[in-house]
Amino acid sequence: MPELVDPPGELSSSDSLYTVVAGEGDGFMLGLAAGDTAGGAWELGYSATTEQATILAYSLITKRALDVESLVAGFLEMDGHHEEEPVFRAESAEFRAWLDRARKGAPVAGHEPSLDAAARAPVLGVALRTDPEELLGQAMELGRLFHTQASTVAAGVVTAAAVAASCFAQSGLDLIAGVAETIALAGDDLSRGLDGPDRVRDLASEVRALIPSVGVASGDEAIAAVGGRREDPVQMVLAGLLLAAPVAHRHHVPIAEASNIGGSRLGAVVGAIVGARVGIRAWPWAFANDTWFAEIGRRLVRGPNEVRDLPIPYAVEQHLMSGGRPGFH
C-alpha cells in the first residue's frame, strides 16, 4: 500500500463529532478507489473491487434501481465474455468462481464467506440514501445474487447503511446509532433463506455495542474491539465502521488503517464511507481515472441520469491495461 507518514491518532475526546454535508455523498467513488488502491490487491492501482462498483454505478445512474440483468451482463462484458480480453484485475477468489459459473449459463451464488458484498454495497448507499427501506431491500437482493452466507450479505447491508448515513455527514456515535436503526428495520428478512442465519440474528444490537469503542484509531484496535475474527465478514465491516466513524483531521488515515487489516476490499468500504462524508477531494496517493470517478459520484447524487456521454467502462479498463488502441470506443 502507499507509504504514509501521518500518525494514526486522529481524534481526541474533546473533538466535535459533527460535520457539515459535503456533496451529499458525491465523493464516495473517489474514496472507494483510494481505499482499493491502498489495499494493494493490484500493485499498479485499483482492482476489480472498483471496477465492479463502476459497473453498478453506471446502472444505477440510469435506472435508479438495481437491475440484475444489466449488472450481470456488465460484469460478463468486463470478463471478456464477448470474445474480448478480460479486464477485471486481481478479482477475489469468490468473485472469480462466480464469474466462471455465470459464463456457463446463469449466475449461481457462492457459499464462501466474503467481503465482496460489502465492497459492492456503497453504490446503493449513495443512490438510495433517502429511502432506508428500499436501500435495505436492494442491498439484500444484491448480496444474495452473489452469496448464500448470511454474514456476507449482512456485511453488505451494514456498509450500505453506513455510506447512506455518511452522505448526510453523520459521524461518531450518531453514525453508529443510525446504522443500527437502519439494520433493525430489516428484521428477519436479513437472514431468511441464507446459510448461518443465527450469526446475524442480533445484528442491530451488535452494531449498537460498538458505541463505547468509537474513537479507536488503529486497525488492530478496531478488529480486537469487535471480536478479532478476521474471517468473519460482519466483524471486519464493523471494525471498518469503527475506523470510519470519527471525524478524522487527516481523512486518509482511517482508510489506510482499514486496508492494513482487510486489504483492498475493506479499504474500499472505509474509503466510501469517509469519501461520502468529506466530498470530492484529492487523496495522498495516486491512482488512474480520478476525474472519472469524481464525475460518477456527482452524477449518482445529482444527475443527469445519463451515461452516454461518459467513457465506456470496458474501454477505460482495456486502455489502462494495454496502453490503448486507436480510435473511439
> Positive or negative, the Cα torsion across 208, 200, 257, 24?
negative
150-167 vs 233-244: helix crossing angle, rounded to 10 = 20
Confidence at residue 21, expressed as pLDDT on a 0 to 100 scale: 85
Confidence at residue 325, expressed as pLDDT on a 0 to 100 scale: 43
- 9 pLDDT higher than 70: no
27, 33 Cβ separation under 8 angstroms:
no
What are the domain boundaries of the chain? 23-322
Confidence at residue 19, expressed as pLDDT on a 0 to 100 scale: 58
pLDDT (tens digit per residue) in 179-213: 999 999 999 999 999 999 999 999 999 999 999 99
pLDDT band at 322; cut points 50, 70, 90: confident
- Name the fold adopted by 23-322: ADP-ribosylglycohydrolase fold (1.10.4080)
Does this model's pTM top 0.85? My answer is yes
Across 80-91, average pLDDT: 92
Helices (DSSP H) in the chain: which residue ranges? 28-39, 48-63, 68-78, 93-103, 116-120, 122-127, 132-146, 150-167, 172-186, 203-208, 219-225, 233-244, 252-278, 290-302, 313-322
Take residue 317 and report the three cell numbers written for it: 479498463
58, 313 Cβ separation under 8 angstroms:
yes
Beta bridge partner(s), residue 42: 45
pLDDT band at 326; cut points 50, 70, 90: very low
Number of residues written out for the chain: 329
Consecutive H or E run containing 252 = helix 252-278
pLDDT (tens digit per residue) in 234-267: 999 999 999 999 998 899 999 999 999 999 999 9
In whole numbers, what is the pLDDT of the chain averaged over residues?
Answer: 92
233-244 vs 252-278: helix crossing angle, rounded to 10 = 80
Confidence at residue 83, expressed as pLDDT on a 0 to 100 scale: 81
Interior angle at CA 295, CA 294 and CA 298, nearest 5: 90
- 61: how many CB neighbours lie within 10 A of its CB? 20
| SS3 assignment, position 147 | strand
Task: Name the residue among 36, 42, 68 with its Cα closest to residue 55.
Answer: 68
Across 264-285, average pLDDT: 97
